[in-house]
Amino acid sequence: MGFPICAGALLQCTFGVAPSALGVLPANRTMCGGPPATNIMDNVPFMNIMPFGMCSSPANPAVAAATAAALGVLTPMPCTPVPAGPWIPGAPTALIANMPTVTDASKLMCSFGGVISVTVAGEFQSMA
């Protein structure tokens, strides 16, 4: 069991340089201590997952192009999150809109090789 995450939770990517806040629309009509709660399908770039500053992943095409132009010196470029699927694992016993709840132990994989994790859940009173 872990803490459910909600809108405003802080996220961090392994290839990003800055944390980012999770954005969640109140479409599921489920709140956790005030802000909207998150299910595993809340993984839309620029709506749920905001950029993490600069990206240093060599799998990111922008970073690869800038690194090649700098003759092989790794050159970070602005982050563009590209989730590779839903959050894993969700809490199967706590459902929001018939989908498992995202907890502070959940991870989201980026197509550029990064792993997005929760650093501050935003909810500390109830457990999923």
Q: Cα–chain-centroid distance for residue 72?
A: 29
79-93: average pLDDT? 91
pLDDT tens for 18-76 read 999 999 887 777 777 778 888 999 999 999 999 999 999 999 999 999 999 999 999 99
pTM for this structure?
A: 0.87
Delimit the domains of the chain by residue range.
Answer: 10-52+80-120
Closest CA to 23 of 3, 2, 44: 44
The pair of structure tokens assigned to 87 is: 């959050």
